[in-house]
Amino acid sequence: MSKKSDFGLIGLAVMGQNLVLNVESRGFQVSVFNRTTSVVDEFVAKHPGKALVGCHTLEEFVQSLATPRKIHIMVKSTAVKDTDRDAVDAVIEQLIPLLDKNDIVIDGGNSFYQTTERRDAYLTEKGLRFIGAGVSGGEEGARKGPSIMPGGPASTWEVMKPIFESIAAKVDGEPCVIHIGPGGAGHYVKMIHNGIEYGDMQLICEAYNIFKNAGFTTDEMAAIFNEWNEGDLLSYLIQISGKALEQKDPETGKPIVELIVDKAGQKGTGQWTLLNAAENAVVISTINAAVEARILSSQKKQRVAASTQLTGPAVNITTDKKELVKKVHDALYASKIISYAQGLDLIKTMGEKKNWGLDLGRIAAIWRGGCIIRAKFLNRITDAYRTNSNLANLMLDPFFKDVLSKTQQNWREVVALATLNGIPVPAFSASLGYYDSYRAARLPANLLQAQRDFFGAHTYERTDKPEGQMFHTEWPEVIG
């Protein structure tokens, strides 16, 4: 073998293959390996003339790479606790004896950030360098330019920067990749990106469900999403929703969306986001609602059985169609802002706790292109944090404050309309509940504190006494 490769990738499934083609297209020679080696042969044969080196063993693969080696692992990740071991660990274990000091191992899969921290410590101890990089954009993004969220030592990032910057999506000439922070910071931010992705998807589905119940045809709904994609809601997920609604089934001629079973899958990143939010006492009610909506959707048999037993109102939506479209647009826009406010609040909280030095403005900027949540309004989020990096909550940025003020009447009407008609809008209403709770100078938690003190002598603070001074009341006995 003459020239050594600049980059190596293990795991030639959909993401791996497309990333390889992307890296190769930027002028790098890439070595590839896959556990099932026939996949290597098929892949290389399918792309004649490209600077690809197909390898049948890991030994051959490692030897084909220039040092320090840059090895990107893109295999199935399933570990959900730092004690779990999965395919990424299996590949790392096989690689370790073959590598030299300072070689770089990158895990580009959707790994849980705590497993990334474990792997980082483990490989560092072995004299190797590790990067846990979240990659978003699906198949198309991987091929044409994803958003990449790498975590790990800044010095290792510097080595990887030329390749990562050349393959990432570009927005206004800026690559959609930055060094997120040390350790598991990159995979952590990717996890929250996915939580936000869940929120966006559920909100779009709730808008669709209202339209459907109001009697809109699938083509009408497609046209609405296509139109929305020209305005404030311009985003990849709105775009693909419009396109999905347009698609007809070749067999029946019916809209394909209406033939798809209403059971949502999920691989885990949304649930991890929920667990992490609970651990850090951060409210992410919109994202929670989105994850739970997928769970309830998957309980199809129970829902079908319950639909014949539990009653609800007959749907009767008489709102003018044009007016309804505007109202739902505003409800979706406002709820989306809340979802991002919550996700970013969680990132901020964890970043501070872990001392990761996260820059929310720069993180929002790399989500503007390449990734699944890419959207026009991420420019506004970027601006908001560039103007005030200490913003307590995205809702308080002047631009978003104004949007929430202007959209809230329609938002409230949509939640009320859906509720009165028995149409579930868990994410729209959770978002509104968050907004109203966050802006309330006084919540009913005073009564809650009284209850706690009543049954458990948990004590409370008083409005007329200094903060931190605790009181207890001798409540009457109620058990006779």
Ligand X SMILES: O=C(CO)[C@H](O)[C@H](O)COP(=O)(O)O
Ligand Y SMILES: NC(=O)C1=CN([C@@H]2O[C@H](COP(=O)(O)OP(=O)(O)OC[C@H]3O[C@@H](n4cnc5c(N)ncnc54)[C@H](OP(=O)(O)O)[C@@H]3O)[C@@H](O)[C@H]2O)C=CC1
Single out the residue of 44, 80, 87, 98 in contact with ligand Y (rule: CB under 6 A). Answer: 87
Q: Choose, from 197, 327, 336, 348, the residue flagged as catalytic.
A: 197
Two tokens, residue 297: 């959707």
- Contact between 106 and ligand Y (CB under 6 A)? no
As given in the structure block, the two tokens for residue 66 are 């220039």
Q: Is residue 91 within the footprint of ligand Y (CB under 6 A)?
A: yes
The binder of 235, among ligand Y, ligand X, none, by C-beta within 5 to 8 A per type, is: none
Site for ligand X contains 77 (CB under 6 A): no
Provide, rounded to whole angstroms, the least separation between the CB of residue 146 and ligand X: 9
Q: Cα 272–275–280 angle (5° rounding)? A: 125
What pairs with residue 170 in β-bridges? Answer: 175
Piece of 60-68, 87-95, 120-128, 327-335 that binds ligand Y (CB under 6 A): 87-95
267 is in an annotated binding site: yes
Number of CB atoms found within 10 A of residue 190's CB = 29
Q: Decide: is 92 part of the binding site for ligand Y (CB under 6 A).
A: no
Give the containing element (helix H, strand E) for 304.
Answer: helix 300-306
Which residue do the tokens 């820059």 mark?
A: 359
The site partner of 197 among ligand Y, ligand X, none (C-beta below 5 to 8 Å per kind) is ligand X
Tell me if residue 126 is catalytic. Answer: no
For the CB of residue 277, give the shortest distance to ligand Y in the complex, in Å.
Answer: 20
Per rule CB under 6 A, is residue 372 in the interface with ligand X?
Answer: yes
Catalytic, 321? Answer no
- Give the contact letters, 98-137, x = binds to ligand X (CB under 6 A), - = no: ------------x-------------------------x-
Q: Which is nearer to ligand Y, 193 or 327 (CB)?
A: 193
Pick 139 or 232: Cβ nearer ligand X: 139
Beta-sheet pairing, 129-136 with 147-151: antiparallel
The verdict on 358 binding ligand X (CB under 6 A) reads: no
Window contacting ligand Y (CB under 6 A); options: 11-19, 61-69, 359-367, 436-444: 11-19
* 137 annotated ligand-binding residue: yes
CB of 182 to ligand Y, least distance (A): 21
Interaction partner, residue 194 (ligand X, ligand Y, none; CB < 5-8 Å by kind): ligand X
User: Which residues are registered as beta bridge partners of 148?
Assistant: 135, 177
Contact segment (CB under 6 A) with ligand Y among 72-80, 155-163, 441-449, 467-475 equals 72-80
C-alpha to C-alpha distance for 315 and 312, rounded to whole angstroms: 9
Report residue 140 CA to chain centroid gap: 17
CB of 71 to ligand Y, least distance (A): 13
Q: Which of ligand Y, ligand X, none does 290 bind, CB closer than 5 to 8 A by kind? A: none
Task: Considering the complex, state which of residue 270 and residue 351 has its C-beta at the smaller distance from ligand X.
Answer: 270
Q: Residue 223's CB: how many other CB atoms inside 10 A?
A: 16
What is the smallest separation between the CB atom of 343 and ligand X, expressed in angstroms? 13
CB atoms within 10 A of CB 111: 28
3-state DSSP of 92-141 = HHHHHHHCCCCCEEEECCCCCHHHHHHHHHHHHHCCCEEEEEEEECHHHH
Sites for ligand Y among residues 24-43 (CB under 6 A): 34-36, 39
Half-sphere exposure of 184 (CA within 13 A, CB side): 20
Query: Of the ranges 39-47, 65-73, 87-95, 260-268, which one interacts with ligand X (CB under 6 A)?
Result: 260-268
Distance in angstroms (rounded) separating the CA atoms of residues 72 and 57: 16
179 is in an annotated binding site: no
Do the Cβ atoms of 296 and 279 come closer than 8 Å? no
Tokens 């720069």, located at residue: 362
Q: How far is CA 300 from the centre of its chain?
A: 25
DSSP letter string over 210-224?
HHHHTT--HHHHHHH
Phi then psi dihedrals of residue 369, to 5 deg: -140, 160
- 410 touches ligand X by CB under 6 A: no
Considering only 114-122, 262-270, 300-308, 313-321, which stretch makes contact with ligand X by CB under 6 A?
A: 262-270
Q: Is 276 labelled a binding residue?
A: no
109 is in an annotated binding site: no
Single out the catalytic residue among 70, 190, 327, 348. 190
Sign of CA dihedral 420, 422, 423, 426: positive
CB under 8 A, 24+ apart: contacts of 249-254? none
**202 binds ligand X, rule: CB under 6 A:** no
φ, ψ at 340 (rounded to 5°): -70, -35
Q: Which two tokens stand for residue 434?
A: 């968050």
Residue ranges of the annotated binding site for substrate are 110, 136-138, 193-194, 198, 267, 294, 452, 458
Catalytic residues, which ones?
A: 190, 197
List interacting residues with ligand X (CB under 6 A).
110, 136, 138, 194, 197, 265-267, 269-270, 372
